[in-house]
Amino acid sequence: MKNQAEYNIKTFPASRIGTFDIGAISKMKHHIKALFELDVTNARSLIKAQKKLKQRISFNAWLIKCISTVVEACPELHGIRKGKNKIVLYDDVDISIMIEREVEGAKVPLPYIIRKANKKSITDIQAEIRSAQSQTINDKGDYVLGEKKNEFIMKLYYYMPSFIRRAIWKHIINSPSLTKKNMGTVIITSVGMAGKINGWVLPTSVHPLAFAVGSIIKKPGVVDGKIEVREYLYMTVSVDHDVIDGAPAVRALARLTNLIEKGYGLE
């Protein structure tokens, strides 16, 4: 037919199936979201100074350290419900990050968990990220970086009907131990690395605590009563309101703001 539309059919990697499931299961979580605009001018300047001294510190590794420090001081931020009236509070802060890799010919974000991030230095975190970025991908369904998963189970998961896969996810997020083991307790998505967005990104997650790190934008700001050009980071935080109330969450996030804007650990 002359008026028939032209189109192509593209096959996406099996790892996207997990993304679909997380999107569906995330509706079980009752997150409250906070939108931040953080002045990172001083921090960026200190990181550049470190690079001149041949200390290779990335902004993301430093940000992970700031977040893990605050979560360690306020463990309720990444607490996980257990049953009707109990909350499990972990001492270790396991942070899941997304690293873009090529799988089956397509670039996809793959999860990597930085275990005990609160006990690691900025340089340790940076080295771990670099190692994950260079990890070999086998294209056999093992789509988790860093920790070896059972290849047969991973393949079986992708072939399961959606209702079974989502039942598995429900079981995981209702179990503190399985949550921590399989996905960590905090997730950080750095969408600003893909391109500049003058605004916030609202993440969907099943983690108790989720961060969406956006772009860094130059704009006028007031410092010591004077207007000057500053660098601002857009960041969204999602906190599980079933676990922590708004007031303690705000106090903890205010401390995070203070650490980030003062360039914590970079002096």
Q: Give mean pLDDT in consecutive 10-residue pieces for the chain, a chain of 267 residues.
A: 75 72 78 92 89 76 96 94 89 90 69 93 91 71 61 76 86 88 90 71 87 91 90 94 91 95 89
pLDDT of residue 119: 96
Q: Which two tokens stand for residue 96?
A: 């899941």
Give me the DSSP letters along the chain.
-TTPPP----PPPTHHHHHHHHHHHGGG--EEEEEEEEE-HHHHHHHHHHHHTT----HHHHHHHHHHHHHHH-GGGG-EEETTTEEE--SS--EEEEEEEEETTEEEEEEEEETTGGGS-HHHHHHHHHHHHTPPP-SSS---BSS---HHHHHHHHHS-HHHHHHHHHHHHT-HHHHHHHH-SEEEEEGGGGS--SS------SSSEEEEEEEEEEEEEEETTEEEEEEEEEEEEEEETTTS-HHHHHHHHHHHHHHHHHTTT--
Where are the domains positioned within the chain?
Answer: 15-262
Tell me, what's the pLDDT at 209? 94
* The pLDDT of residue 263: 92
* CA angle centred on 92, ends 252 and 211, rounded to 5°: 50
The residues, ordered by sequence, that sit 6+ positions from 243 with a Cβ below 8 Å of its Cβ are 76, 79, 80, 81, 87, 208
Place of tokens 């303690």: 248
Could you give the CA distance from residue 123 to residue 72 in angstroms, rounded to a whole number? 19
Q: Does the structural domain 15-262 have CATH classification 3.30.559.10?
A: yes
Tokens (6 digits) for 196: 């500049």
How far is the C-alpha of 41 from the C-alpha of 39, rounded, in Å? 6
Can you tell me the distance from the alpha carbon of 199 to that of 76, in angstroms, rounded to the nearest whole number? 28
**pLDDT value of residue 104:** 62
* Residue among 54, 69, 34 nearest 264 (CA): 69
Strands 209-223 and 186-190: parallel
| Tokens linked to 199 | 């605004």
Per-residue model confidence (pLDDT) at position 13: 67
Whole-number pLDDT of residue 200: 84
Closest CA to 111 of 168, 149, 67, 140: 149
